[in-house]
Structure 1
Amino acid sequence: MSYLRYLALLLFFLASSVMAYPLVIVVESYHPENAWDKAYLNGLRSKLDGVAELDFIALDTKRLPTSAHLEQADLAFYEIQQKKPDLVVLGDDAALALLGPRLARMKMPVVFLGINADPAQYFGGKLPENITGVIERPLYQQNFNLIRELLPQAKNILVLLDQDRSAYFIQADIQRLKHNDIDVVLVNNYSLWQNKVMNASLQYDAIVLGTYQALIGANGQHVEADEVMSWTRAHSPVPIFGFWDVAISRQGAAGGMVLSGFEHGAVAGTMARAMLQQPRQVLPVQQSSPGHLIFSRAQANYWKIQIPRKMSKRVSWLP
């Protein structure tokens, strides 16, 4: 066998042995620097690295004005049409609302995550067979019960939210619980947020932070979430709790019965992997993973929060 023929055969077999990974495009409603996005993207990667090629598109809806969201979705849809992925992951309600119906018409396999609304509402009341995912249901009642147990003298609780799309679904879910001693307040202006925090002790005994990544400053520009959190922690006259693990830290909320962004992404990643391996199977929608009791030791000490012995065995402590 000649050298050139041998080399040609070798290259042929090498090329044949390399299997191309399926392409998965992940569309984030927010932006890669967002703490929730970072967490669920790591969860997705934990299940899809080595299984699929991942490509990412960020709609940036927390930092861009609402008037720009549709254009962002149009650009994302064009990119999806050009790249022809094997599956699309849609992160959070904005991505599902803006892109879900278009992808359904394409018969594109879709896994969603971080959905606070009923996902079927984005499709005229019935979810297409090629679209499934993980709905996000923060543990509202468990957190209110937790605050009552840790702060027995607490009478009124403020749940503070920005005016992101998800915030309205959160507000509706909490209001359905019919608690007269819990107020849910939505603001989009950072100055108003600051005012609500600084005067919280006039009406409330605790604050629970919901969404806080879409606030607008006096200059009309987006205020970074880390700045909002650190300012809120420094100026709140009452203890702060959170619904998500990304809110709990030495510079953030004291604690809560929280959802894990990483686990949320991992569940969605497992579903995407199964759909890639068996493309025609129909997977049922799944619920958020069970909550975790997480506290910052520094913040618990600062607010003089005493964790009962029976509860302490279930707490995961952060610095």
Structure 2
Amino acid sequence: MRRIISSIIMLSLITLISSRPGKAADAPGGKILIVHSYDRNFAWTADIHDALERMLSRRRIELRTVFMDANINRDEESLTAAGQKAAEMMRSFRPDVVIASDDDAQQYFAARFAGDSSAPALVFCGVNQDPARYGYPAFNVTGVVEKLAWSESLKLLRRLCPDVRRVAVLLDSRSSSLAAVGSMRASTPADIEAEWIIVDTYEKWRELIDASGSTHDALAITTCHGLTDAEGRIVPGPEVMHWTREHAGLPSVGFFDYTVADGALCGVIQTGFEHGTLAAGMALRILDGERAGDIPIVSTTQGLTMFNLKVARKLRIDIPEDLLQEAAALVE
């Protein structure tokens, strides 16, 4: 499965790197602090980090990394403490650039340094909220906004299932998940009846999946990494998606490579690797002398078409050859 995802990652990397001139490996280096909202084992974070390391290893750069584990420890006290730990690391390490991924790293750490002339340059990625919420842009800030390819994914789904009209959009209640709802509502086609359903527990998720066939034509799965079991423990996202793959009787779209790989039928997806590659490129430009605030914030990414052939067979959906040819990756 990871081999399939690696194919997507490499495609994104080659496309993105080929569009910007490289620097020699012996070019002047610097110091970069990476602060991730989530843990190292979360697929999205892992791909961002792998891309950052791949790009930044081309130069003599000293790296430090903090994982805030915000998807595991969601209480305010833990998040505040994790942000403080990142700030202490920044003050002791004294980096030239800080790269902060996803919204919790902005809210509990990076945002306080936006527009601070004594702070290092900041590059964000994976941000769902309006950057203005964190005081971005600022003279020392640039980055990559995460924007779900909602309308594009719906168009893709309807090329497979033209009769889709009623779509249940499932998401957990994390702030980064809720942030996507506004832009999705605004770009929903007029002939689509979309219902946004916030789910906090694994039990409720399974109930909704079991009942969805009588109320909707399709599912849109945004996020499922904040669901808890009966004991209040976070259920791993892949486990949720594997159950969904086996029990859902409706076609589904996902918006991330791991969502389609783990069980959604299809999607126009973005990858953490793409976000990491873009963020690393911005950091390198800053080390080469550009001011962060002069580098435009990127609000759209490339978007890649992806199909899960196992799910298609289960649902008895034939994917036309022309669509297969358009796909960046096929999950067997």
Matched, 1:318 2:331: yes
Correspondence for 2:282 among 271, 283, 289 = 271
Correspondence for 1:261 among 272, 291, 295 = 272
Find the residue that maps to 1:295 and give its secondary structure.
Answer: strand
Identity of matched residues, % = 27
Deviation at 1:21, TM superposition (A): 4.3
Partner of 1:197: 209
Deviation readout 1:204-261 (Å, 9 max, x if unpaired): 1211211111111110111111211111212212122211112122x42122111122
Q: Distance in 1 between matches of 2:279 and 2:148?
A: 17
Matched, 1:33 2:45: no
Deviation readout 1:39-74 (Å, 9 max, x if unpaired): 111221221113222221111111112322112111
What are the equivalent positions in structure 2 for 1:77-96 lying under 5 Å apart?
77-96=87-106
Deviation at 1:156, TM superposition (A): 0.9
Q: Distance in 2 between matches of 1:91 and 1:100?
A: 10
Deviation readout 1:10-33 (Å, 9 max, x if unpaired): xxxxxxxx9994221111111110
Assess if the C-alpha contact under 8 Å between 2:264 and 2:311 holds in 1: yes
Find the residue that maps to 1:79 and give its secondary structure.
Answer: helix
What are the equivalent positions in structure 2 for 1:152-191 lying under 5 Å apart?
152-177=162-187, 181-191=193-203
Partner of 1:61: 70
Deviation at 1:305, TM superposition (A): 2.0
Of stretches 170-179 and 129-138 in structure 1, the one that deviates more from structure 2 is 170-179
What are the equivalent positions in structure 2 for 1:81-120 lying under 5 Å apart?
81-104=91-114, 105=116, 106-120=118-132
Q: Distance in 2 between matches of 1:204 and 1:66?
A: 34
Matched, 1:45 2:53: yes
Of stretches 42-51 and 192-201 in structure 1, the one that deviates more from structure 2 is 42-51
Find the residue that maps to 1:248 and give its secondary structure.
Answer: helix
Partner of 1:289: 301
Find the residue that maps to 2:227 and give its secondary structure.
Answer: coil
AA partner of residue 317 (structure 1): L
Correspondence for 1:234 among 239, 246, 254 = 246
Q: Distance in 2 between matches of 1:297 and 1:148?
A: 16
Q: Distance in 2 between matches of 1:155 and 1:199?
A: 17
Q: Distance in 2 between matches of 1:120 and 1:65?
A: 23
Find the residue that maps to 1:310 and give its secondary structure.
Answer: helix
Q: Distance in 2 between matches of 1:218 and 1:77?
A: 35
The 1:139/1:19 distance shift into structure 2, 3 A limit, reads closer
Instruction: Give the aligned length.
Output: 299
Deviation readout 1:79-123 (Å, 9 max, x if unpaired): 211111111101011111222232223432011001112212211
For structure 2, which runs of at least 5 residues remain unmatched after alignment? 1-25
Q: Distance in 2 between matches of 1:272 and 1:306?
A: 44
For structure 1, which runs of at least 5 residues remain unmatched after alignment? 1-17
The 1:39/1:19 distance shift into structure 2, 3 A limit, reads closer
Find the residue that maps to 1:286 and give its secondary structure.
Answer: coil
**Larger C-alpha radius of gyration, 1 or 2?**
1
Find the residue that maps to 2:181 and give its secondary structure.
Answer: helix
Instruction: Give the TM-score normalised by the residue count of structure 1.
Output: 0.88
Q: Distance in 2 between matches of 1:199 and 1:187?
A: 14
Q: Distance in 2 between matches of 1:311 and 1:228?
A: 27
* RMSD over equivalenced CA pairs, Å: 1.9
